[in-house]
Amino acid sequence: MDYWIITVAIIAIALCIIAVVAVGMRGSLSDRAPEVANVLANTARHLNGDADPPQGLVEFFQETARSAASARSAMSARSAASASEPPKR
C-alpha cells in the first residue's frame, strides 16, 4: 500500500516539473495561459535561486530559529538546576 502512495507522489512531482518547463519557462504552452506562465516562471526563478525568498518564508524561519533558541535556553536552565541537586536514591 505504501508503494502506491510513494508512486503517486513521484508522479505528482514529475507533473509539476513538466508544467514548470512546458508553461513557465517560455515553453510552447506559455502563450495560451499567460497568468499560469507568470506564476510558474516565478516558481522556476525561486527554485533556481534567482529570486529573493518570500517575506513570509523568511519570517517563518526567523521565528523557528527564535523558538528553537528559547527551547535550548530553557533546557539548559533545567539541566543546570538538576545538576546542582543531589542525586535521589
* pLDDT tens for each residue of the chain, 89 residues long: 688 899 999 999 999 888 777 666 666 666 777 787 788 788 778 878 888 888 888 888 888 888 877 777 766 656 655 555 566 66
**Residue 74, pLDDT score:** 65
**Are 34 and 60 found together in one domain?**
no
Q: For position 30, what pLDDT does the model report?
A: 67
Integer CA distances (angstroms), 36 to 6, 25, 46, 75, in order: 27, 11, 15, 47
64 is a domain residue: yes
Report the distance separating Cα 24 and Cα 28, nearest Å. 9
Statement to judge: residues 10 and 42 lie in one domain:
yes
**Quick one: 25 and 65 in the same domain?**
no
pTM for the complete prediction?
0.43
Structural domain for 75, as ranges: 54-81
Q: Is residue 87 part of a domain?
A: no
Domain assignment of residue 88, yes or no: no
**Total structural domains within the chain:** 2
Give the pLDDT score at 41. Answer: 80
35 and 65 housed in the same domain: no
Same domain, residue pair 46 and 58: no
